[in-house]
Structure 1
Amino acid sequence: MPPCSPQDQPIATRYEAGQVTVNLTCMERRNALTAEAVSGLHNALDEAEDRSGCRLLVITARGSHFCSGIDLTSALPPPWLTDQEPSVSTLLNRLATSTVMTAAVVDGAVTAGGVGLTAACDVVIARSAASFQLTELRLGLVPAVILPYLARRTGPHRAGALALLGETLSAEAACRAGLADHVSVRPDSEDDLRWLRGQLTAVRRADIHTLKAYRDVCAAPLPPAETVKELVRQSFESPAARRRIEALRRMGLV
């Protein structure tokens, strides 16, 4: 799969009216979580948290794929397992615990780690073209990084079943399962952004942070980071997983 062109970088960020919007723009790689995209999302969170007037960070995407998860065209296991670059695991934790509200407006296919990206957000809006699918086990991989965030939304048994079956959920089915919070029938995603801002008009940023912190007390604790990294490393080092990923690379499917 080709890299993003120079004029089509992995993300574009803008700030307006108390909101940082991050648009995933690398359609050539199905908006995969490349090192550049992960770094850009970390930077966007920094900007949102540093702006005293900001209460909301929203992730959107261009193209028919919202996010396809970890970039399988780069070196495997991922370099972030040895702290050589910003971590996907740390990114998901930051989305879940940030002092601002985090949201994803999904209008395309979300697969593998992309489902974890949305699940870590406080609010997920699913538009008509949205679909959600866990594809890791088909490659011989265990979704160790994302499963705790899915389990917090759906419950551990349902999260496990979604990973085992790999079924594709529509926007409505994802909302019933807990992977999405709101199904949008608004004409445009910009209308969803305006609706989100409107919902937060009377909400203080300090109260957002307090609510999120208390919600985390009520939820099951996340597994230790080293446990997650070791399971991811073992998955990617599996000969079966390597063969399947290499086959997908040759066919240009990742």
Structure 2
Amino acid sequence: MVDELVHYEVQRGIATITLDSPHNRNALSAQLRRELRDHLGSALAEEAVRVVVLSHTGPVFCAGMDLKEAGGASADQQGVNEFPAILEQLWTSPKPVVARLAGPARAGGVGIVAACDIAIAVREASFAFSEVRIGVVPAVISVTVLPRLLPRAAHELFLTGETFDAERAVRIGLLNSAVAAEDLDAEVARYAGMLALGAPNALAATKSMLREPRTGDMGQDFADMLELSARHFGGEEGQEGIAAFVQKRKPNWVPTD
């Protein structure tokens, strides 16, 4: 029987998906990609799950594609066509996704970090878009990375492949927070706890709003946003949230067990 490379557990509304392939630095092998997609699907389908945390074992978060598998393989066999589906799952997830990094990420691993809503790493973590140094292009990951990074930094780091640290990753928009190793789990829990306070439909709608480009017509944008706001103010969640505020109690979507 093949050992599982990605684990899944749910506690108090938080689903933790853990990459557990330290022998190859959690590289995106075919098995790991398949299990990651399956567990993400489970988290998105399970009504009790409010927040997803993507974590890892071993010293490396994710080293990118498994190059041992990719050597001599066709594009399909390399997972080039499959990997975008994982990034899209993360990016479009109606539930907030938090990346927890206790170590470095490279190439496709950085694409995963960028696809998550919140990313927290230890200060010792490092990052690199190493693709050009092995003769390939960081094309697929650019879809999730470029919306996060400052343009000048993106040009520099994509073209040079230079390694950069967690502090710079925060400055250029890749990470939300870089903390001491002993504070990592507390910081992840803090973010996950805050996200769990949000109403599920409101969080999903807010994520969708953040992804949508504006029309360029301010009047139309205001009309669209007024419609969105009114729909949620008058909706079941909005009315429950207002009632809970007035009655000084927690709304019914906040996890209690």
Bin for the TM-score computed over the shorter chain: 0.7 to 0.9
Aligned to 1:180: 175
How many positions carry a matched residue from both structures? 212
Q: How far apart, CA to CA, are the structure 2 residues paired with 1:15 and 1:80?
A: 32
Superposed displacement of residue 44, structure 1: 1.5
- Equivalent residue runs for 1:145-184 within 5 Å: 145-184=140-179
**Distance between the aligned counterparts of 1:21 and 1:74, measured in 2?**
27
User: Deviation digits for residues 106-155 of structure 1, max 9, x if unmatched?
Assistant: 11111111110111111100112211111000000001100121110014
1:212 positional shift:
1.2
**1:119 matched to which residue of 2?**
114
Secondary structure class of the residue paired with 2:16:
strand
Relative to structure 1, the CA distance from residue 50 to residue 82 in structure 2 (aligned partners, 3 Å threshold; closer, same or farther) is closer
| Percent of aligned positions that are identical | 31
Q: 1:12 aligns with which of 7, 11, 14?
A: 7
Aligned partner of 2:40 in structure 1 is: 45
Under a length normalisation based on structure 1, what TM-score does the superposition of the two structures give? 0.77
Distance 2:196 2:6 in 1: 27
Could you list the per-position Cα deviations for residues 73-117 of structure 1 after superposition, in whole angstroms to 9, with x for gaps in the alignment? 11423426799xx81101101100111101111111111111101
After superposition, where does 1:121-136 map in structure 2 within 5 Å? 121-136=116-131
Unmatched tracts of structure 2, length 5 or more: 215-257
Instruction: State whether residues 120 and 184 of structure 2, in contact with CA within 8 Å, keep that contact through their aligned partners in structure 1.
Output: no
For 2:79 and 2:111, locate their aligned partners in 1 and report how far apart those are by CA, in whole Å.
Answer: 21
Q: 2:62 aligns to what? A: 67
**Cα-Cα RMSD:** 2.2
Q: Compare CA radii of gyration and give the structure with the larger one.
A: 2
The answer on whether the counterparts of 1:25 and 1:61 sit within 8 Å (CA) in structure 2 is yes
Query: Is the Cα contact below 8 Å between 1:20 and 1:44 reproduced in 2?
Result: no
Tell me the distance in 1 between the aligned counterparts of 2:76 and 2:126. Answer: 29
Query: 1: CA distance between counterparts of 2:125 and 2:74?
Result: 29
Cα 1:82–1:60 shift into 2, 3 Å = closer
Task: Give matches, 1:90-239, under 5 Å.
Answer: 90-185=85-180, 187-218=182-213
* 1:79 equivalent among 76, 81, 102: 76
Structure 1 residues 209 and 163, CA, compared in 2 at 3 Å: closer, same or farther? same
Post-superposition offset of 1:61: 1.2
Task: Give the conservation status (yes or no) of the 8 Å contact 2:17–2:39.
Answer: yes
